[in-house]
A and B are shown apart, each in its own frame.
Chain A
Amino acid sequence: EKLFHNRDHSDMQIPTSHQAPVITDEYEAELFLSRYGFIKPTQREEIQMKQTLKEFQMVSGLPVTGVFDDATKDAMNKPRCGVPDKETDPNPHVVTESHIGGSDQSQPLQ
């Protein structure tokens, strides 16, 4: 079991291997922004990072600095939903019936 001593398990110790990697530098921040749709592959590299950081800071209610500062780092490390914030598919399909399938999702069925 995961080790704990308190009745409500609030002191449960999580092994390091089970912890999400903490975002500490700009490279990891870039991965984060890519993962959640803020960076588009077609964007020019030199304007990418600052602009996308500003965008992330704006939607997260942070001071918009364009810099990977402590507040931005904290926000990126907070618990969040795994669904991207921004869509990338410009031509969504019209779906007429519910999706049936296993967990390995591909395109919705027509």
Chain B
Amino acid sequence: NRRRHLADLVSKKRQKRDLTESGYMAFSKDVLRWRLIGEGYSSQLTVDEQRYIFRLAFRMWSEVSPLEFVEDTWSPLEDVDIKLGFGTGRHLGCNQKFDGTGQEFAHAWFLGDIHFDDDEHFTGPSSHTGISLLKVAVHEIGHVLGLPHIYRPGSIMQPSYLPHESSFEMDWMDRKAIQHLYAGGCKGRFSTVFDWIRKEKTPYGDVKIRFNTYFMRDGWYWLYENRNNRTRYGDPVALQIGWHGIPSDGVDAYVHVWSRRREAVYFFKGLQFWRYDSENDRVFRHDSEGRRYPRLISEGFPGIPSPIDSAFYDRRDSHIYFFRRAQVYAFSVETNSLASGFPKHIRDVFPPVESGDHPDGSIDAAYFSYSHNALFLLKGTRFWRVVGSRERWRRPFLPRNGLMPHKEVDQQWFDICDVHPTSLKL
């Protein structure tokens, strides 16, 4: 009788606080406000440290989901979506008492608040002792967003705390779990996409050529790690941090002219273009004839209109292909002039393999991927792969430079997610 009564009591209490899992039980908005409440500061870390750790924790979720989080210290409390606070024993009006040092370190309420047991020894990210507040915060935020406990090794949603690792990040399965709750992956248009070539000398004097893939959207960018199927941890980064001298609100196109006799990297925006100095990691101030950058596209590339939608350099014929609306312009870098017969309609240069499945101009990016050894045209949330010459060898019925049926960008390049602008600098 005593046991049944006890179980009944616990069950009634639990009904008020269980987190249930479902594909559609989640926040219905994309931008969520959070606050560390004033009466709930920890006694163990400075307030600034606590807020920094929570900003980082929310940002980590933002980097892998379509959600954005903003710290809100000014709105009425009822307008704040997620409130965080520390307490001990009976705390913050909560009906679930903390147990003191050991065992329970925090709890969270679905679509609600997070409480941390201040009797635990919470420490900052750089410490190797105690309980990592960052790790616990990321876990509890996961509950607030709708994730249950997951028993998979490596999951951030494991119920038990595992001591400090050198770093912890959201793995593939955790990402997919949160994305499943929030309408799939992260979608959005890109300003430009390119593979940046680096030349490195080995200790033996050989030159090794490496590349890194970059996605740019407006004023920020991501490095995409093709072998890991994700972006670099901590991205996106503001454009001016990594690319010095190009417009901070974004570019229209990137071109890498790469032949035996020529090598140059150009960024295009509006009516202008810049040449990038990869040795000194900034734009050139002047060209070889002393003309200052930025220069007008109409002067540097006679016959090419501006602004352009995108461009790429084709090493097969040493032409830069510029895209503007439904027209394609082929520019010969050898003769520094428009190739004969151009401009042409985009459908003539890149015919659809499947009738009707075509971007029809105004593309966002033309991207040659060394990883895939293929050219892609991106528009909106979709991309079309251009038929390669090897492919035509095997399937001669495919049209030259044909566009394969479209796919979704987020099914090829994963987890390229925005964060709130206030989170760009933590």
Contact = CB atoms under 8 A, between A and B. Distances in A.
Contacts of A12: 121
B8 A98 contact: no
A48 B261 CA distance: 79
A67 to B, nearest CB: 19
Contact of A21 (B94, B98, B99): B99
Contact of B105 (A21, A75, A79, A101): A79
Chain B, interface size category, equals 35 or more
Q: Mostly helix, strand, loop or mixed at chain A's interface?
A: loop
B92 interface: yes
B161 A79 contact: yes
Contacts of A41: 4, 7-8, 10-11
A73 to B, nearest CB: 12
A17 B107 contact: no
A83 B21 CA distance: 13
Given A85-B148, A98-B32, A103-B85, 16 more contacts: A20-B99, A21-B99, A36-B159, A41-B10, A60-B151, A78-B160, A81-B140, A82-B107, A84-B14, A88-B14, A92-B25, A93-B25, A95-B28, A96-B28, A103-B94, A105-B109
Interface centre among B19, B94, B98, B100 (most CB of A within 10 A): B100
Contacts of A98: 27-29, 32, 81, 111
Given A81-B106, A83-B108, A60 B7 contact: no
A14 B46 CA distance: 20
B314 interface: no
Interface of B: 3-4, 6-8, 10-11, 14-22, 24-29, 32, 78-79, 81, 83, 85, 88, 92-96, 98-113, 115, 119-121, 127, 129-131, 136, 139-140, 143, 148-149, 151, 153, 159-161
Interface of A: 8-10, 12, 14, 17-22, 30-31, 34-37, 39-41, 45, 59-61, 75, 77-85, 87-89, 92-108
B132 to A, nearest CB: 11
Nearest to A34: B10
Contact of A89 (B10, B15, B101, B112): B15
B102 A83 contact: no
Contacts of B115: 103
Given A8-B129, A34-B7, A80-B159, A105 B17 contact: yes
Contacts of B27: 98
A31 B105 CA distance: 17
Contact of A80 (B85, B94, B105, B119): B105
Contacts of B94: 103-104
Nearest to B94: A103
Nearest to A49: B3
B104 A19 contact: no
B311 to A, nearest CB: 43
Contacts of A35: 10, 14
Given A77-B103, A80-B104, A83-B108, A18 B18 contact: no
Question: Which of B103, B119, B140 has the most chain A CB atoms closer than 10 A to its own CB?
Answer: B103
A95 B111 contact: yes
A92 B20 contact: yes
11 contacts: A18-B119, A20-B101, A21-B99, A80-B159, A80-B160, A81-B143, A83-B149, A87-B18, A92-B20, A99-B112, A101-B78
Contact of A85 (B8, B16, B106, B149): B149
